[in-house]
Amino acid sequence: MVGEEYRRWEGDMEALYVYTAGVAGDRFFREIRDNERLMGTYCPECDVTYLPPRLYCETCFSELNEWEEIPNKGRVDAITVAYVDDKGERLARPKVLAMVRFLGANGGLIHVVDLPEEDVYRGMEVEVVYLPRGLRKGSFLDILHFKAI
């Protein structure tokens, strides 16, 4: 058997979906598109504001109906630099990604930081940059990146 080619066929499992943003996600993306602002849901029981927002509290399981605006400025909490793309191919320009935490919010956002990797450090202040109004579609990618303040 050794040296023979074993039978194997290439195939795929293509499937298409629509992904429902839900009550909390819908408002979150709408606020980004229309008002360039981050909104979170507030849990009075736990006194925390969730970013990204959700309809229920993961700590006490209350339904959340109160919304709070979250400042557009945050601080870098963790950093990675991807030197390869989504398929593992070397990137011409490395992608700096950071977890950014916002004052008053439980959670944060991960996104690209538009700076050379050596200029990004833990604790640095960054600001959310949105796509220009006419280009925004109410998606996560309406957030273009974080930039230094």
Partner 1 sequence: MVGIGYEGFPRETPHYSFKELTFEAALKAYEDAGVDPRKDVDSFVVCEEDYWAGWSISDEGAPDQLGGVLRPLHTVSGDGLNGVANAFMQIKTGYFDVVVVEAHSKASDILTYEGILTFAFDPLFYRLLNAHPHFLAGLEMDAFLEDHENTEEDCAEVVRKNRENARHHEAASFGGQTSVQEVMDSEVLFRPLKAAEISPLADGSIVLVLASAEKARELTDQPIWIRGIGWSSDSPWLETRSLAEARYARWAADQAYRMAGLERPRRRVHVAEVDDRFAYKELQHLEALGLAGGNRAGALLREGFYEMKGDLPANPSGGSLGVGNLLEASGLFRVMEIVRQLRGQAGEHQVEGATLGVAQSWRGIPTATGGVAVLEA
Q: Is 137 exposed, middle or buried (0-12, 13-18, 19+ CB in 10 A)?
A: exposed
**Which residues would be at the binding site for partner 1 (CB under 8 A)?**
1, 6, 8, 10-11, 13, 17, 19, 21, 25, 29, 50-52, 54, 58, 77-88, 95, 97-99, 106-112, 117, 122, 139-141
**Which residues would be at the binding site for Zn ion (CB under 5 A)?**
43, 45-46, 57, 59-60, 62
Q: Which does 65 bind (CB under 5 to 8 A by kind): Zn ion, partner 1, none?
A: none
In the bound state with partner 1, the residue whose beta carbon lies nearer, of 17 and 47, is: 17
Residues 6+ apart with CB under 8 A from 105: 38, 40, 49, 50, 51, 70
In the bound state with Zn ion, the residue whose beta carbon lies nearer, of 56 and 140, is: 56
Asked if 125 and 73 count as a contact pair (C-beta separation under 8 A), the reply is yes
In the bound state with Zn ion, the residue whose beta carbon lies nearer, of 43 and 76, is: 43
Residue 108 zone, left/alpha/beta (φ > 0; ψ -120 to 50; rest): left
> Which two structure tokens, joined as six digits, stand for 123?
């604790």
Q: Which does 38 bind (CB under 5 to 8 A by kind): partner 1, Zn ion, none?
A: none
Q: What is the helix (H) or strand (E) element at residue 99, kind and residue range?
A: strand 90-102
Q: Which does 136 bind (CB under 5 to 8 A by kind): Zn ion, partner 1, none?
A: none
Q: Which does 43 bind (CB under 5 to 8 A by kind): partner 1, Zn ion, none?
A: Zn ion
